[in-house]
Amino acid sequence: MAKPHLAITPALKRQLALWLDEDMGRGDLSAACLGTNAVQAHWVAKADGVFAGGVLAAPLFRQLDDEVHVRQLVADGEPVRCGERLLELAGSAAALVGAERTALNLAMRLSGIATATAALVAQLEGSGVQLADTRKTTPGLRTLEKYAVRCGGGLNHRRGLDDAAMLKENHLAWAGGMEAAVTAVRAQAPWPSQLIIEAETAGEAAAAINAGADGVLLDEFSPEELAELVPQLRRLAQQRGSKVMLEASGIQPHQLSLYRDTGIDLISTSAPVTRSPWLDLSMRFSGKEG
């Protein structure tokens, strides 16, 4: 698996500053007892899991002190054991205490998502079926939550409504049918994009391929139904000279392994983001510098 990457863009730095300001408010009242001491600290995992969010530590702590040094011991996307050191910090006590909660909150949230994703990906290991996320993300956290999914070995699907056109039941009904909806989207899309159509029956899936869909979202089909339907859809796409991505959704997380051999390309699920608990992490004082 390629190492997950998160770009620390100006926009992300501004967002980090807003989250830090939410916690700092008018100022850290506890900082008065810290003086100008330079100290050392480290993060430690308090449970087994997959680490994510360490790359945010340096840009967060340096909002308060640009001389804070951060050394990441465990890369994002790597498994960790309870008690393992994750990163080391050195800098002013006021900066380390001031940004501690915001940095840990983000890392615990993202590590929880990465851990949950890795557990689901493990159910599909060796099958060729990929696990994809959805647009069910926390407003303001989409970039980071989707990064955490990558850290757990998952695939980012649509980043937003501008990535691909996905036509669901309401689109098709309000547009006057599948053919009308597809024609309108193809004619008016301002840039090249994929077109995905949701299907709840075998007939709808075949109609989607005949309408020229690039992908078909097969919603709430059983493993047995998909095992029979997928080869038919592959043949239909081949007859049309097209290649169609077949995606399954509406699957309970604990049942993913039942879909390993159905022939689908990917399973999309919101579970790692919407159902995962945080991974418990903490920051511990190591001593004064010098």
Between the alpha carbon of residue 224 and those of residues 229, 245, 258, the distances in Å are 9, 19, 9
Q: Is 82 exposed, middle or buried (0-12, 13-18, 19+ CB in 10 A)?
A: exposed
CATH number of the domain at 19, please. 3.90.1170.20
Q: Are residues 80 and 114 in the same domain?
A: yes
pTM of the model: 0.94
Q: How many domains, in total, are found in the chain?
A: 2
Write down the pLDDT at residue 289. 66
**Residue pLDDT, tens place only, 244-278:** 999 999 999 999 999 999 999 999 999 999 999 99
Q: Are residues 106 and 178 in the same domain?
A: no
Q: Are residues 139 and 266 in the same domain?
A: yes
CATH number of the domain at 138, please. 3.20.20.70
Write down the pLDDT at residue 191. 84
| 105 φ/ψ angles, rounded to the nearest 5 degrees | -55, -45
Q: Which amino acids are annotated catalytic?
A: 101, 136, 168, 198, 219
Residue 60 forms part of a structural domain: yes
Write down the pLDDT at residue 189. 87
Q: Are residues 267 and 130 in the same domain?
A: yes
Q: Are residues 212 and 258 in the same domain?
A: yes
Residue 53 forms part of a structural domain: yes
User: 51, 25 in Cβ contact below 8 A?
Assistant: no
Q: Where are the alpha helices (DSSP H) in the chain?
A: 10-24, 57-61, 93-123, 142-151, 169-175, 178-188, 202-210, 223-239, 271-274
**Residue pLDDT, tens place only, 144-195:** 999 999 999 999 998 999 989 999 999 999 999 999 999 999 999 888 889 9
User: 250, 117 in Cβ contact below 8 A?
Assistant: no
Radius of gyration of the chain from its Cα atoms, rounded to whole angstroms: 23
**Residue pLDDT, tens place only, 194-229:** 999 999 999 999 999 999 999 999 999 999 999 999
- Segments forming the whole domain that contains residue 268: 125-274
13 Cβ contact partners less than 8 Å away, ≥ 6 residues apart: 59
